[in-house]
């Protein structure tokens, strides 16, 4: 009898070229690079070699690009201004498919990949960015790599990896109104912690994930890295195939039919065993917001800032005290009493059209009380949002509407907060200094961020009758 396999097992086993002890050499189907990949290309040039498989490599600038214009001369610094021409030279010299700044397809790597059909079920996809886990929403094994690995993939179309263990996170039941995919993943991270999935490949399963749109699944898989896993995956299904059909770099015609036939065999076998199982109840998930300096420091919006004195042990107490000292909050404060100084809606976690629609639904007919920045995930998302009139809703509410890019999520392009400012953000990390030195970041969903913008404080989205 054949051994029952998980989705991850099936993909891994089909991509192993050779083994060396615990290390496996894996074949890489598709590789995405961005404007921060210049070190890897410089090393290739120094070795006198070019990209091995340029047709399987794709590039788009995102980390450092200005979002207030499409002109490279408007880059935040002269040094950053030199990065885009370097990126263009690297793409041209190696024959790599590229979506440069003046291309409507340009955008954040983890938005562009699915949008263009570069991301496909059953493939291994890598990128020099930790949130590459996003692409697992389409049934791919996707993970971030460092610059030395980036160089190795560019040169050989392979990478050495140690096989992780497997973890299944299951959520059954039905989400209550107002509960977004961002709330779901923050609830998971709060439950298992930022180290809860270290050494594991996560598969998300259950009614909640099956009912999610592909864009919602992308949000969940995006933040798998925040609970310690390098990858998060959701088995492909009819929603996946409908999303991918007709995408530019997806299979076409008869090849599409053969591909779907293969993809239908990818979901984990019913008898497959996982090394660890975690279960949550959808009915227990509320709108979430982070109160501290780690994604695991998250609570339902109707909770209060935790008291270090109530911590389970001295280590936890010290962590809470340290976080509160930086974030500037007093124990016992209701989260809904916390005022914000500015709002950021964007990032590879929450900058797709569904995210913008959710934010616009809250912003419609209201006015921002604090500066609010809205950054779409790609030029195509921007164009669609404008066709639907979402940009007008935002600008009439006093929100600032920008071009595509990573923007304030990582703060590499000049989009930063000021020291001491409290930012309601739809991004994925709330580490100290993530959005600028001394900036205090709080993670939440697009609808929650928009609610914070129009009320000036953390606000339960359920007050707005969100669905």
Instruction: Give a yes or no: residue 121 inside a domain.
Output: yes
Neighbours of 167 (CB within 10 A): 26
Both 254 and 311 in a single domain? no
The two structure tokens encoding residue 139: 């049934």
How many domains does one find in the chain? 2
Neighbours of 370 (CB within 10 A): 20
Structure-token match 């914070």, residue found = 452
Instruction: Give a yes or no: residue 242 inside a domain.
Output: no
Both 253 and 371 in a single domain? no
Q: Say whether pLDDT at 433 is over 90.
A: yes
Q: Say whether pLDDT at 55 is over 90.
A: yes
Residue from 464, 378, 459, 446 nearest 182 by CA: 446
**Based on C-alpha coordinates, what's the Rg of the chain?**
21
Render pLDDT for 158-199 as a digit per residue (tens, 0 to 9): 999 999 999 999 999 999 999 999 999 999 999 999 999 999
Range of the domain at 429: 302-464
The answer to whether 8 touches 166, Cβ cutoff 8 Å, is yes
Instruction: Give a yes or no: residue 51 inside a domain.
Output: yes
Would you state the pLDDT for residue 85? 94
Both 12 and 154 in a single domain? yes
Both 364 and 308 in a single domain? yes
The two structure tokens encoding residue 149: 């690995």
Mean pLDDT of the chain: 97
Render pLDDT for 313-334 as a digit per residue (tens, 0 to 9): 999 999 999 999 999 999 999 9
Percent of all residues in the chain with a pLDDT value above 70, rounded to a whole number: 99
Question: Cα separation of 42 and 20, whole Å?
Answer: 28
Residue from 112, 107, 94, 110 nearest 38 by CA: 94
Instruction: Give a yes or no: residue 376 inside a domain.
Output: yes
Would you state the pLDDT for residue 146? 95
Both 254 and 392 in a single domain? no
Residue from 335, 360, 327, 367 nearest 345 by CA: 360
Both 353 and 255 in a single domain? no
Both 142 and 253 in a single domain? yes
Would you state the pLDDT for residue 466? 57
Render pLDDT for 74-102 as a digit per residue (tens, 0 to 9): 999 999 999 999 999 999 999 999 999 99
Both 255 and 307 in a single domain? no
Render pLDDT for 350-387 as a digit per residue (tens, 0 to 9): 999 999 999 999 999 999 999 999 999 999 999 999 99
Q: Say whether pLDDT at 1 is over 80.
A: no
Would you state the pLDDT for residue 411? 86
Both 416 and 364 in a single domain? yes
Instruction: Give a yes or no: residue 197 inside a domain.
Output: no
Q: Taking residues 268-287, what's their average pLDDT?
A: 97
Instruction: Give a yes or no: residue 28 inside a domain.
Output: yes
Supply the pTM of this predicted model: 0.97
Q: Say whether pLDDT at 447 is over 90.
A: yes
Q: Taking residues 301-313, what's their average pLDDT?
A: 96
Both 252 and 330 in a single domain? no
Q: Say whether pLDDT at 2 is over 90.
A: no
Single residue among 199, 232, 259 that ends a domain in this structure:
259
Q: Taking residues 407-419, what's their average pLDDT?
A: 93
Instruction: Give a yes or no: residue 273 inside a domain.
Output: no
Tell me how far CA of residue 277 lies from CA of 140, 143, 204, 252, 414, in angstroms. 20, 21, 10, 37, 42
Both 253 and 362 in a single domain? no
Neighbours of 277 (CB within 10 A): 12
Both 40 and 97 in a single domain? yes
Q: Say whether pLDDT at 288 is over 80.
A: yes
pLDDT interval class at 40 (50, 70, 90): very high
Instruction: Give a yes or no: residue 290 inside a domain.
Output: no
Render pLDDT for 457-466 as a digit per residue (tens, 0 to 9): 999 999 887 5
Task: Provide the CATH number for the domain around residue 422.
Answer: 3.30.499.10
Nearby residues of 3 by Cβ (< 8 Å), 6 or more positions away: none
Render pLDDT for 209-227 as a digit per residue (tens, 0 to 9): 999 999 999 999 999 999 9
């Amino acid at each position: 009898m054949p051994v029952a396999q998980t989705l991850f097992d099936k993909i891994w086993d089909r991509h192993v070229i050779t083994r060396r002890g615990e290390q496996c050499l894996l074949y890489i189907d598709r590789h995405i690079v961005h404007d921060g990949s210049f070190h890897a290309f410089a090393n290739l040039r120094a070795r006198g070699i070019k990209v091995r498989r340029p047709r399987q490599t794709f590039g788009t600038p995102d980390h450092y690009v200005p979002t207030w214009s499409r002109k490279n001369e408007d880059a935040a610094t002269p040094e950053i201004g030199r990065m885009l021409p370097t990126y263009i030279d690297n793409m041209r010299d190696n024959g790599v498919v590229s979506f440069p700044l003046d291309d409507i397809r340009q955008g954040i790597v983890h938005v562009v990949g699915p949008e263009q059909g570069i991301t496909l079920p059953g493939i291994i996809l890598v990128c020099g960015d930790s949130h590459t886990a996003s692409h697992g929403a389409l049934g791919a094994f996707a993970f971030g790599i460092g610059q030395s690995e980036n160089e190795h993939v560019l040169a050989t179309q392979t990478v050495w990896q140690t096989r992780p263990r497997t973890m299944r996170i299951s959520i059954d039941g039905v989400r209550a109104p107002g509960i977004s995919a961002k709330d779901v993943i923050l609830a998971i991270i709060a439950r298992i912690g930022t180290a809860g999935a270290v050494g594991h490949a996560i598969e998300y399963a259950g009614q909640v994930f099956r009912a999610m749109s592909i864009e919602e699944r992308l949000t969940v898989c995006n933040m798998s890295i925040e609970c310690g896993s390098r990858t998060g995956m959701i088995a492909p299904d009819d929603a996946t195939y409908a999303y991918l059909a007709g995408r530019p770099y997806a299979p076409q015609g008869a090849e599409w039919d053969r591909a779907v036939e293969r993809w239908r065999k990818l979901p984990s076998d019913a008898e497959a065993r996982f090394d660890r199982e975690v279960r949550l109840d959808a009915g227990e998930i509320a709108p979430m917001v982070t109160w501290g300096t780690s994604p695991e420091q998250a609570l339902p919006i109707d909770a209060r800032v935790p008291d270090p004195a109530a911590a389970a042990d001295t280590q936890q107490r010290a962590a809470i005290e340290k976080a509160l000292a930086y974030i500037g909050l007093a124990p016992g404060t209701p989260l809904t009493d916390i005022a914000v100084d500015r709002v950021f809606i964007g990032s590879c976690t929450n900058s797709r059209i569904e995210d913008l629609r959710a934010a616009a639904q809250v912003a419609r007919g209201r006015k921002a009380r604090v500066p609010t920045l809205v950054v779409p995930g790609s030029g195509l998302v921007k164009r669609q949002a404008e066709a639907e009139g979402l940009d007008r809703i935002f600008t009439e509410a006093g929100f600032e509407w920008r071009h595509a890019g990573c923007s304030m999520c990582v703060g590499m392009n000049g989009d930063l907060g000021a020291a001491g400012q409290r930012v309601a953000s739809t991004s994925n990390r709330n580490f100290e200094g993530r959005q600028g030195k001394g900036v205090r970041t709080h993670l939440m969903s697009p609808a929650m961020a928009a609610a914070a913008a129009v009320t000036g404080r953390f606000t339960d989205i359920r007050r707005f009758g969100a669905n």
